[in-house]
Structure 1
């Protein structure tokens, strides 16, 4: 059963349901017909019983047997037996009857080798205790033959209905599952080079439209992730190419001729700076890889955000003074988090804000309690970020200013905001960027307890 196709399963289910319903309806009809015949036979026998009693009473003391025979002659399949109070048969119809008849009063059914009978036992004189016993037998063999034919017809109908429903169900299921086969054909054609393929949602049944929409969304996410991965690989190659080229060129130039010890020492110091840049870049990439796989180990402790922000503002105060930028902080809150990670995230945001704030501008940090969490906003005035660039600010190696070249740390290579987002998400929060009316805001939302 587990290997059967969905069409065959549906066809079998349809056939089984049809067979059960047909059988149930047939049994009900058969039982109803049988009960109907029983009621008709009862009415006929009770009518004949009244006629027999009336025929006996109308003889006025004469022998009533001729009158009884005349009365019963109108019903060819009816037999009468009358026994006196001693059990001796007093009268009987010439039509043969079974030798053994039921003795209990009322209506009953009797079957012998060839025929079926409905039997009614009653007293000839209901008001007398020594009344003879009257037995009326109605041959119902034709009724039983009809019921048997009907039962055979019911079984035949059940079988044919199940077969017809199985065939029609298989056809209907195969036709109804055609959209699934189309989905399978499109899905089988999807590869790394064709992630832009999408399932048609317009002509899908309602039940499959939602599935097609979910698959299309999944393909969209895969396409986006693949594009990001491809861009990420290209960005890594681009970021490492420059320091490697510098190392090779510097080393080749140094080795072109004999140099003094001081020249070699200077060359090694230059190479060391490039190697430190590459090591920091690789370390940050490993950090992001751990964050993607949920491997960042947080050391949570109670933190006063106001104190942590003030420490960072004091650290950036000399740089802000050189840039002629004012620093400020509003609000305070207590949360649980990893001190070093949160300092790194806020430091990245403050460094980014200072580098893009014009002289005479301002960088503010606002801390606000929001329900069960806290909102930390790092904002600076100056030239805003276009709305179409906002969703990409947290991408790795993405630069809002394409003209900016590599700096002295990996944060300036386009990893700072990506690392910040990974840290915030590791704390169960989220971060977004807003830019409007000359202000750019990075809004962090963190839970107080996680």
Structure 2
């Protein structure tokens, strides 16, 4: 079976609710009207009973029959039957009365020959066990006809109100769901070439405003991710184009004519350097791909950050000495983490710091310890980085140095991206600040991974 649309479901629900409410209201009104008629009939018959008892106070007197006829003539739809204590019928005011009538005291309802009666039975002389029995019959056929017409009107009202509510509900649901159709249109128009469509949040009803906000945020993330992916692909091609061209050109030139063995060996060594750089670039990209998919799983081992930093400073000491840069460390802290991954991250930061620190400058590593986290700062003297460039420092293949060289075999612009991935894999965060002649990378790490 085809599934009902949301508008159809809401319209049917509105119709069902309206029908139920109308039906309940009609039934209650019908019951109230019937009870009201019974109460009026009870009052009328009680009043007539008093008058008839007064008229028949002395049933043996000669004028009692005249008084009885006078009393009955005042109510055209009223009839009377008098029976003796032995059950024999003494008197009927009409020849069309039913043969059998209830003799028990109280009010009841009966029907005969298409006529409905309200019946009240009571003794003529209350308190006397051998008293004759008075049975008053009130024709209530017009009451019953009214109630029947009202019941038909109720069913008609229920049907018409349900139909009207279904139509109005369908219109209201379609109008109310217009923002959802708008969202569907925007979603249908989203493609790799068109990710800039957004929903007007200010025009959405409050119930859908939050959904529209999250939908727009999702499109924003998709757009940003697609732009990054496109830029990443372009950067890969950009980085690999020059070394591949160098390899092809160098190889073609070498093969243009016969050469000595030493020239071939030199050509192979030159090609080997380019191939090693390309292999390292591919490995770095694979490393970042693993980080994007949450596949970097740091090991947990006790580490003394002070000792780890000292090992790295000792490794970079010859390079710092040649560049006339001073290396120093302050503070120490203990944590649990992956030694190799953290060394790689700190090596990238120290290598960047040394490359951009002028002669006679200084590179410092400061370690601080707090109850739950520890901080590590790598800072260097030198020319600052513009504030608008700081958010992009951790982008892949991004280099703030305007003198960027295509296909440089030393630095491909992946170091800071790898560092950020390692810090995040450890549950920490890294940020960069630059000013007052210093550039500092601040890291916060949990003590336990």
1:232-289 CA distance string (max 9 Å, x none): 1111111111111121222222223332222222211111111000000001111111
Match of 1:23 in 2: 23
Look up the SS of the partner of 1:57 in the other structure: coil
Shift in CA distance, 87/421, structure 1 to aligned 2, threshold 3 Å: same
Shift in CA distance, 289/47, structure 1 to aligned 2, threshold 3 Å: same
Match of 2:437 in 1: 438
CA distance in 2: counterparts of 1:144 and 1:404, whole angstroms:
101
Q: Quick check: 1:3 aligned with 2:3?
A: yes
Once the 2 structures are TM-superposed, how far is the Cα of residue 142 of structure 1 from its aligned partner?
Answer: 1.2
Normalized against structure 1, the TM-score is what? Answer: 0.92
Match of 1:425 in 2: 424
Shift in CA distance, 120/286, structure 1 to aligned 2, threshold 3 Å: same
CA distance in 2: counterparts of 1:263 and 1:16, whole angstroms:
93
CA distance in 1: counterparts of 2:361 and 2:111, whole angstroms:
112
Once the 2 structures are TM-superposed, how far is the Cα of residue 355 of structure 1 from its aligned partner?
Answer: 1.9
CA distance in 2: counterparts of 1:40 and 1:332, whole angstroms:
100
Once the 2 structures are TM-superposed, how far is the Cα of residue 96 of structure 1 from its aligned partner?
Answer: 2.5
Does the 8 A contact of 1:65 with 1:91 survive in 2?
no
CA distance in 1: counterparts of 2:154 and 2:135, whole angstroms:
35
Q: Quick check: 1:273 aligned with 2:261?
A: no
Gaps of 5+ in 1: none
Q: After TM superposition, list the pairs within 5 Å mapping 1:238-317 onto structure 2.
A: 238-317=238-317
CA distance in 1: counterparts of 2:36 and 2:412, whole angstroms:
94
Once the 2 structures are TM-superposed, how far is the Cα of residue 399 of structure 1 from its aligned partner?
Answer: 0.8
Look up the SS of the partner of 1:315 in the other structure: helix
Shift in CA distance, 117/312, structure 1 to aligned 2, threshold 3 Å: farther
Match of 2:448 in 1: 449
Once the 2 structures are TM-superposed, how far is the Cα of residue 425 of structure 1 from its aligned partner?
Answer: 1.9
Shift in CA distance, 75/298, structure 1 to aligned 2, threshold 3 Å: same
Farther-moved stretch of structure 1 (386-395 vs 99-108): 99-108
Match of 2:76 in 1: 76
Look up the SS of the partner of 2:203 in the other structure: coil
Q: After TM superposition, list the pairs within 5 Å mapping 1:16-415 onto structure 2.
A: 16-57=16-57, 64-94=64-94, 96-370=96-370, 372-405=372-405, 406-409=407-410, 412-415=411-414
Farther-moved stretch of structure 1 (3-12 vs 178-187): 178-187
Once the 2 structures are TM-superposed, how far is the Cα of residue 415 of structure 1 from its aligned partner?
Answer: 0.6
Once the 2 structures are TM-superposed, how far is the Cα of residue 382 of structure 1 from its aligned partner?
Answer: 2.6
Normalized against structure 2, the TM-score is what? Answer: 0.92
The count of residues paired between Structure 1 and Structure 2 equals 448
Once the 2 structures are TM-superposed, how far is the Cα of residue 152 of structure 1 from its aligned partner?
Answer: 0.8
1:27-69 CA distance string (max 9 Å, x none): 1211211121121112212222222223233779556333223
CA distance in 2: counterparts of 1:95 and 1:378, whole angstroms:
120
Look up the SS of the partner of 1:413 in the other structure: coil
Farther-moved stretch of structure 1 (393-402 vs 303-312): 303-312
Shift in CA distance, 59/104, structure 1 to aligned 2, threshold 3 Å: closer
Shift in CA distance, 78/419, structure 1 to aligned 2, threshold 3 Å: same
Shift in CA distance, 123/59, structure 1 to aligned 2, threshold 3 Å: closer
Does the 8 A contact of 1:79 with 1:95 survive in 2?
no
Once the 2 structures are TM-superposed, how far is the Cα of residue 396 of structure 1 from its aligned partner?
Answer: 0.7
Shift in CA distance, 79/327, structure 1 to aligned 2, threshold 3 Å: farther
CA distance in 1: counterparts of 2:438 and 2:51, whole angstroms:
112
Shift in CA distance, 196/82, structure 1 to aligned 2, threshold 3 Å: same
Match of 2:13 in 1: 13
Farther-moved stretch of structure 1 (249-258 vs 231-240): 249-258
Shift in CA distance, 396/57, structure 1 to aligned 2, threshold 3 Å: same
Farther-moved stretch of structure 1 (68-77 vs 107-116): 107-116
Shift in CA distance, 120/422, structure 1 to aligned 2, threshold 3 Å: same
Does the 8 A contact of 1:81 with 1:135 survive in 2?
yes
CA RMSD for the aligned pairs?
2.3
